[in-house]
Structure 1
Amino acid sequence: MSHKGQSTDGASGAAPQMARQEGWSEPPAGEAEKQTAKSGKGRRSRYPDMQSAARFPIKLPVAVKSEGGDQATETQNISANGVLFRLDSDMPIGSMVDFTISFPADVVGSDNDVRVDCRGRVVRSYEEDGRRGVGVVIDEYHFER
């Protein structure tokens, strides 16, 4: 099964409040300005690609493939439209990333683990405790069994 996601650009002035209500965490102090500067799109919003989907603090294994190489990590939170994970290397805002999320069989009620192959773009990047937090909007995905 394949799906092509949709995203919306821009957000209202209520974005930070909505983000907190949806379970998003605020970027570290000063990071929003860096994100706006890095995006190069002249956006003034702190959450240019904010989605309305609820985020859930679920830790699942993720295999990330990017220009910087392959890395294994885990999700910090996940929604129908995106995912947040941590990496040891930087992924610039706007860069494309392929990744596979593994759902354990017992979680999805299956005999086997279910893998979801995703393609997305980085919409948030920040450093915390020596690692990079990377927020990715999922543009396409398909299930593997």
Structure 2
Amino acid sequence: MSLVQTITDDMKTAMKARDKDTLSVIRMIKAALMNEKVKVNHELSDEEAQTVIAREYKQRKESIEEFKKGNRDDLVKGTEAELKIVGKYMPQQLSKEEIEKIVADTIASVGASSTSDFGKVMGAVMPKVKGKADGKLVNQAVKSQLS
């Protein structure tokens, strides 16, 4: 079953269960998916849908950080609940060790030797870990292995 279909089914389940919080988050996800569909002018593949969901997940994570900086605990709790629901649709995230292994393999394959090759390595690594790893973690792993 496609990711978009799974989200639609979960929306129906949330409607039947009268789960307003879950329903509102799923509707936001559906709206983001529809906006992307209109933007690319074709039905979204699972990979494209996953990219949209990863974007939604990242936005909520960043919002939580900002709310914590602003001492807005009331908003942190609500956004964390949303993050948990969006996280259900994210693929299994890679561990730090897995990311470091992928980075090491990529450095060896592109022949990178110094920090000046950072962009080349990041360009090769990111497609491999798309949606499965946070860009900040990948960035840190590349910097630590090139220095």
| Greater radius of gyration (CA) | 2
Please tell me the TM-score bracket, short chain as reference.
under 0.3
Give 1 or 2: higher helix fraction. 2
Give 1 or 2: higher strand fraction. 1
